[in-house]
Amino acid sequence: MLYKRSEEGYKSPVEGALQKTLVWGEKTLMCEFRMKKGAQVPAHKHPHEQTGYVVSGKLRLQAGDESFVAESGDAWCIGPDVEHSAEILEDSVVIEVFSPVREEFIPS
């Protein structure tokens, strides 16, 4: 699967955040998140490993017992079934990869 940049196809999973699935395959799925300063991603967990990279901005991640302020160029990997949340400290763009594929993120 190949992806050509487009401004279409964004969804809002939580207030102040937009999510768009860029590409997916048999084992992984990649998303872009655009988040506004002050947005909150509530604590949640899922059976997917989640690897992320901050393209721009700044956010505070809480994953299990760890807290991490992530800025441009920083990355993380959150294991399956680990409770995590985020507080957006500056307008941010984040790329995340999920494995296995998050079926609910596949565009219809």
pLDDT tens-digit series, residues 7-63: 999 999 899 999 999 999 999 999 999 999 999 999 999 999 999 999 999 999 999
pLDDT band at 98; cut points 50, 70, 90: very high
**CA–CA–CA angle 50, 76, 68 (5° rounding):** 120
Residue of 17, 22, 29, 26 lying closest to 7 (CA atoms): 22
pLDDT of residue 75: 98
pLDDT tens track for 56-84: 999 999 999 999 999 999 999 999 999 99
Q: Hey, what CATH topology would domain 36-102 get?
A: Jelly Rolls (2.60.120)
pLDDT of residue 108 exceeding 90:
no
pLDDT at position 48 is: 97
95 pLDDT higher than 90: yes
